[in-house]
Structure 1
Amino acid sequence: MKSLPVFSIKDFEERAGELVYVSDLKEHIGKYDFIGNPHKHNFHLLLLTESEGNHYVDFVNHHFSGYTLHYLAPGRAHRWIFKSEKPKGRVIFFYEDLFGSCGNVPSVIERLSFLNVPSPYPIHNLTEEDWNDAQWCVGKIESQNGSMEFGADIFVKNTMEMLLVIFERLSLKKGVSSVDPRSRSWKELRRFQLLLERNFETRHQVNWYADQMNVSTSRLKQLCKVCMSDPPGRMIKQRRLLEVKRLLKMTSMSFSQIAAELNFTDLAHLSHFFLKSEGVTMREFREA
């Protein structure tokens, strides 16, 4: 395998007029067997299921059973394995531009913490009440998605927001983020995260990101320390390291290919970077 594949919604079935992709889980898995291998998306993913299995997000194995709601941000590598050959549930894919800002009022994407701050909790167990609420939302989204009836698009967007709020409330109970989404710090943090995700392969200097954000380097350092408990330089380094680990564990790319893919000066540079960061060689990490 070369670099991890990145799927867009167009790689799955699209029907005219639909704002989101919604599918029965069993049918989705049966139709697209390639999703059993590690991959990424350029869209947001929600999975609502009552089946048992394992969801591998990057290098963490999340076992799940019972009523669960899963969220995966664009760019994260994952795969899932279900215990049953006929898992029950629904999957929803959507792009960020589904929700637009209105004047100075931020969009739902900008206001919800779990959509912005990397979370160690991609899966939440649901109470029966939460499950019924989420099921209702998905059912309504599915019934109105692509409909020519007046207001169907508004109905889908508003109901999607309700579903995302359910996940946000569960995330807040676990303390995913203490950052107020209405604050200036929140907006600046989000901008830094987006810049980092788009440029980590080629831009490694804190001052470059500060310049792009029109803030001072000291302001960016303070922002990351307060909001993420990490300096921006470490966040840049950790993002590069994460991608190296993904390619080591989830592909058969050679070390030299990985160095070239991620714009390291040469293999020696990558080897030193990885050993210093992890305390083991890339070969030891790949074979572990």
Structure 2
Amino acid sequence: MKTLRLEEVTPSKLHFELNTMQWLEEHRSEQSNEMHKHDYYVIIWVKEGTGTHTVDFQQFELHPQTFWFLSPGQAHAFHFQSPPSGYVISFDSDFFFTYENNRELLIDTGLFHNTFQFKPFTLDTSLTFGLENILQNIQAEYQNRDGIYQEDMLRSLVKMFLIQCARLFSSQLAPTHDESSKSVCLVRRFQDLVELRFSQKNKVADYADQLSVTPSHLNDTVKKVTGQPASEHIKQRVILEIKRKANFGMVSAKEIAFDLGFEDEAHFSKYFKNYTGQTFSEYKKQLASHSKRYFF
């Protein structure tokens, strides 16, 4: 599975890019014929187009006025049945994390870093005009290559776009209104740690220790907020990484087992089959590429 890097796909030195989906289909649809991932953040607004979008091995039907917020490392591929229209915004950590509260914004809105509860968001067309206006301002600023403080202006406009999205999609975000802010904060810190440490730490006690709580309290809190215990989140993240690595093609079970800290290949194979119901070899056999896909 290929990993696209922002500095490789755009000549811009801004750590940022904005294109229409039509332009990307015309100029970059042949970059790869397999699922791929990015090392940067991607916002995709599909205004029109039919087909499917596969994200981390979940397949979603495309609908008009659908928004996708992809975090670094998420594997995805589009399969369009009709020509798409819309926008794709790409930016990396260097672009957005200049100010610490910007990173908190990406996490706290619930739009990004939601591997365990990933889903697209949809809007009625009547509610998209404000977002369209912000995007037009972003596009004008992006094309103004000689602008003073251009990156600062783009960063501010993207931040405004994300805040507006968070407001519009608030009713579609994972519900947390029944939980105290303290519990939600703990869960977000846990999920952040899992993303950073899942290949070295696979026990709830490891994370509880880092978060200064007891394992039972962490498990209960995570289950209360998300519907699944902390242990299940860890397992899901490990399995997801195994599937991502399997898509590299020639990576063996032994290599993946070593990368993810399993004792040996036998332990790795048992872990995978217990969770997925199939052996790793069976999973690899079903990874044959399907029809032509367009990638962003």
Return the TM-score normalized by structure 2. 0.81
Letter in 2 for 1:20: F
Structure 2 residue runs of 5 or longer lacking an equivalent are 287-296
Q: How big is the alpha-carbon RMSD for the aligned residues of Structure 1 and Structure 2?
A: 3.0
Q: Deviations over 1:9-33 (max 9, x none)?
A: 11211423x3521122233344333
Aligned residue number for residue 242 of structure 1 = 240
Check the 8 A contact 2:257/2:265 in 1, yes or no.
yes
Q: Alpha carbons of 1:129 and 1:151: their partners in 2 closer, same or farther (altered >3 Å)?
A: farther
Contact in 2 for aligned 1:36/1:80 (Cα 8 Å):
no
Q: What is the match of residue 27 of structure 1?
A: 23
Instruction: Summarize the alignment of residues 18-57 of structure 1 with structure 2, pairs less than 5 Å apart.
Output: 18=14, 20-32=16-28, 33-49=30-46, 50-57=48-55
Structure 2 residue aligned with 1:131: 128
Question: Which residue of 2 is the match for residue 177 of structure 1?
Answer: 175
Give the direction of change, closer, same or farther, for the CA distance of 1:9–1:149 in structure 2 (3 Å limit): same
Which contiguous aligned blocks of 4+ residues in structure 1 show a shift greater than 6 angstroms? Answer: none
How far residue 72 of structure 1 moved from its aligned partner, in angstroms, is 1.2
The C-alpha deviation readout for 1:151-194, integer Å capped at 9, x for no partner, is: 64454233323322343345432342316999333333222222
Distance 2:170 2:260 in 1: 34
| 1:118 corresponding residue in structure 2 | 115
Within 5 Å, which residues of 2 pair with 1:151-230?
152-178=150-176, 183-230=181-228
Q: Following the alignment from structure 2 to structure 1, what is the Cα–Cα distance between the partners of residues 127 and 118?
A: 17
Mapped to 1, the partners of 2:114 and 2:179 lie a distance apart of 11
Q: Which moved more, 1:200-209 or 1:181-190?
A: 181-190
Q: Which has the higher contact order (CA 8 A, sep 6+)?
A: 2
**Local SS of the residue matching 1:115:** coil
CA 1:280–1:107: 2 relative to 1, 3 Å: closer
Is 2:7–2:15's contact at 8 Å kept on the other side of the alignment? no
Question: Contact conserved, 1:51 with 1:67, CA < 8 A, in 2?
Answer: no
Query: Quick check: 1:36–1:79 contact (8 Å CA) kept in 2?
Result: no
* Pair 1:221–1:92, CA change in 2 (3 A): same
* Deviations 1:84-105 (CA, angstroms, capped at 9, x unpaired): 4x53222111234515245xx9
Alpha-carbon separation, structure 2, partners of 1:263 and 1:36? 31
- Counterpart contact for 2:208–2:215, Cα < 8 Å: yes
The aligned amino acid for 2:56 is D
TM-score (normalised: structure 1): 0.82
Q: Matched residues, percent identical? A: 25
Conservation of the 8 A alpha-carbon contact between 1:23 and 1:90: yes
Q: What residue is the counterpart of 1:75 in the other structure?
A: 73
Query: How many equivalent pairs are there?
Result: 281
CA contact (8 A) 1:116 1:190 kept: no
2:6 and 2:15 in contact (8 A); partners too: no
Unaligned runs of 5+ in 1: none
* Conserved? CA contact 2:116–2:233, under 8 Å: no
CA drift at 1:270: 1.2
CA distance 1:245–1:267, change in 2 (3 Å): same
Partner of 1:63: 61
Cα distance in 1 between the residues matched to 2:241 and 2:151: 37
Q: CA 1:198/1:281 → structure 2, altered by over 3 Å: closer, same or farther? A: same
